Structure formats: structure tokens, C-alpha cells
Amino acid sequence: MSKHPYLRRMRQTWFFRLRVPSDLVAVVGKKEIVESLKTSDVGVARQKGAERFADVNAMFLRLRSGETDLSAVEIERQARRVYDDTLDDIQRAEAAGQFMSSDPEFVGGRNAHEAGLNASIDNEAEAIGDGGDVGLMGPQLAIVAQRLGKLPDVRSPSYEGLVLALHRARLTAAQTRLAALEGRTLEPPAAFNPAALDVRGKPRGRISPLPANGTRFADKAAAYIKEVQHDPNAKLTEQTRGQYESVYRLFDQWAGAPTLEDVDHGRAKAFLDAIATLDPLWGRSPATKKRTFAEIMAKYGNHATGLSNRTINRYSVALSLVWQWAKTDVNPWAGQQRKKPEGRKVEKFPFTADELKKLLDRRPAIKPGKRDTATTLPWLCRDCPEPC
């Protein structure tokens, strides 16, 4: 699939397949990542493939930086994946008639299934009360480790936060399905990881809903372009406008529709690091405007040369202008400029006496039509017996 190059179909099943960058092969332990997406549905494969692609690229960035801790937003992202996966597992079990229960009062059927869900709820709630049960969460931690390449240190706060967030995700999935069987609707919480909530109690980063205060980056970027184009003296050329809109769209998709407040210096740098691996010609195709960030990275990422620092700086400036225009207290793009190569130092020098002697040592056959430098110099050089 040209729009989803990381997807491969083998018989009736879709697989995720992505080449590992040469500088990370020794760390990852293989040249290519190939995993079954466990579906024959192309729509499901596209969704799962895009999610896996984002995970793998985040893993590549972490491995390059040497960072092992997970951010609060990343923990929340993984918890939501476990929540969705757990719901899918429960419903697949129902469809296959695999109703299991540890309660001897029930031996099968819906009652047994509901009892099994209640038992799962009790187990997860007890584990949360005890501060997490790594043994109970082992299979999910193994899946997360595969997605991220490596888990945080078991003694770190982010590891404890991850385990508790996964417990809450599984607890909520069981509660949600049990409510559905009873004819009720149960909405998941704003976040499975409390640290992923900001001071207003709203989710941060990629999981954020559209904020009521209107500070979503995409909205501000569009408003900035509109205002600049309205002023004839500050109006951007169509080429520059297209470049700005492309980088705004890339960043918005990469960061998951963030607000201006969600973006800090580290996140800004991570984005620049991510796009630095793009093919320098990635934006030449008109079809690029219709491609998602994941599709662009799959098609043009991990390039041997990557973007020049000059191009990366241009993208950084374009993003910085949005924060300047919005008059935020902090501009995360400040100080993100990368070192540019020094240009050639070329100066103009006057003719030496010997060079003038060569030019004027004989009378030319034809005189110049005008007495000016532009006409005379080529005329003199044409008749010069020796090249200067």
C-alpha cells in the first residue's frame, strides 16, 4: 500500500513492517521490525499500523537520546492502548463463547462472564490499592516494552506510574463492559494517569480534547497566517505560506493537536529531531499535503542525509512565529536554532598593475559602443592576449 508502506499483507493477515535505522540496529537487535496486527480488515490494519508506527518512531528517538523515563503523556497513551486492547479481548471472548469465571456458582454463559468481569474488577482494584502488582501486569508490561523498546527503571517514579495507569485502564475496561451488559453507559475517566492532567484537570498533550480557551495550536497557526496575509506589507509569498502551513500541519499531527501551553522546550526539540531524518525532497510531491505525519515519515523518514540545519532552522522559525504572534509568556522554539555551515568568504579585489598591463598592452580592432564598465570590460577581455 503506497500510502501505508509499513503495512504488508501475508495471506489473509496484515503485518506491520519497518526498517530499523542503521545506527540503531545493534541496540534494537535486528534490521527490521515485523509484527502481526492480528486482523484481516484493512481499516483496522491502517489504524493499528499508524499507532505502531508512532510508537516505533518514539522508541527510535528515545534510544538515540539515551532516555528511558516515560513522560506522563506517554504513560497515558500506553494506558489508553491497554484500555482499548482489553475491551477488544473481552468482546472477542464473548463472541467465541469463552465465558470464564472463578466463581463455582457459575459454570458458563452470561452469568459466568459477568462474574468473571466482577472478579477482574476486584483484582485490579486490590492491585491499585496495594500500589500495583507487577506480576499481574506482566503480560501488558511485556507488550508495552515491545512497543517502546525499553521500560523505565523499576525503581523510577515513571515505572510505578505506568503500572498503576495500566491497572486503572484494565479496571475501567472491565467496568465499561459490565455496564454495557447491564444496559448502562460508562465513560472512561479523563486520564488513567493522574500526572497526565494539568492544573485545570484537563488531559495534556496528544490525549487533549479541544480546549475551551481556544489556545489549540492549529487554531492559532491558522489565525496567524490569516492575519499576516491580510497585511500587504507583511504578506507571505505563496511558496513561503505553503511551507509554513506544511510544517504547522506536521507538528500538529506529531504532537496530537496540542495547545500552545502543552509544548515545552523538550517537546519542541523532539519534533525537530524527528523531522531531521526526512528526505530533503519530501515536500516536492503535491500528494504530500494529503499525507499524515505517519505516512510522510514512513515514506521519507530515516533518510541517509536528512534535512539540512538551514531547513530545520526555517521550520523552527516558522513555528516560533506562532508563539510570538500569540504573545505567550514562554516561546519553546527560542534557542532551537542549529549551527549552520559557514559560507564561502569571497571578496572582490582591484586589478594589479600587471593585470592592467595585460589588458591594455595593445589596441583593440573594435572600440566599445559605450564608455561604461559593463561594455568596456568584456570588450577588453575578449581581445586580451592572455587570460587573466
Q: What is the pLDDT of residue 322?
A: 92
Q: What is the pLDDT of residue 382?
A: 54
pLDDT at 60 over 60: yes
Q: How far apart are CA 314 and CA 282, in angstroms?
A: 15
Average pLDDT over residues 83-111: 63
Residues 106, 107, 109, 113: is their CA dihedral positive or negative? positive
Contact partners, residue 305, CB within 8 Å, separation at least 6: 279, 280
Q: What is the pLDDT of residue 345?
A: 54
pLDDT at 160 over 90: no
- Across the chain, how many H-helices and E-strands are there? 13, 3
35 beta partners? 16
Q: What is the pLDDT of residue 210?
A: 35
Q: Which residue has the higher pLDDT, 376 or 271?
A: 271
Q: What does the pLDDT look like over 326-364, one tens digit per residue?
A: 887 788 898 888 886 655 555 667 778 888 777 777 666
Average pLDDT over residues 130-156: 75
Q: How confident is the model at residue 275 (pLDDT cuts 50, 70, 90)?
A: confident
Q: What is the pLDDT of residue 366?
A: 60
Q: What is the pLDDT of residue 113?
A: 67
Q: What does the pLDDT look like over 209-267, one tens digit per residue?
A: 333 344 678 888 988 888 888 877 778 888 888 888 888 988 887 776 777 877 888 88
Average pLDDT over residues 114-137: 80
Share of the chain above pLDDT 90, in %: 2
Q: Which residue has the higher pLDDT, 112 or 386?
A: 112
DSSP string, 252-300: HHHHTS-BGGG--HHHHHHHHHHHTTS-TTTT-SGGGGGS-HHHHHHHH
What are the C-alpha distances in Å from 247 to residues 256, 289, 319?
14, 10, 8
pLDDT at 108 over 80: no
Average pLDDT over residues 60-83: 74
Share of the chain above pLDDT 70, in %: 75
Out of 71-80, 163-172, 173-182, 203-212, give the one with best mean pLDDT.
163-172
CB 177 within 8 A of CB 189: no
Domain range summary for the chain, segments of one domain joined by +:
7-207, 217-326, 353-383
Out of 10-19, 91-100, 193-202, 376-385, give the one with best mean pLDDT.
10-19
Q: How confident is the model at residue 208 (pLDDT cuts 50, 70, 90)?
A: very low
Q: What is the pLDDT of residue 106?
A: 41
Q: What is the pLDDT of residue 196?
A: 56
Q: What is the pLDDT of residue 388?
A: 47
Q: What is the pLDDT of residue 335?
A: 85
The whole-chain average pLDDT of the chain stands at 75
Q: What is the pLDDT of residue 319?
A: 93
CB 250 within 8 A of CB 242: no
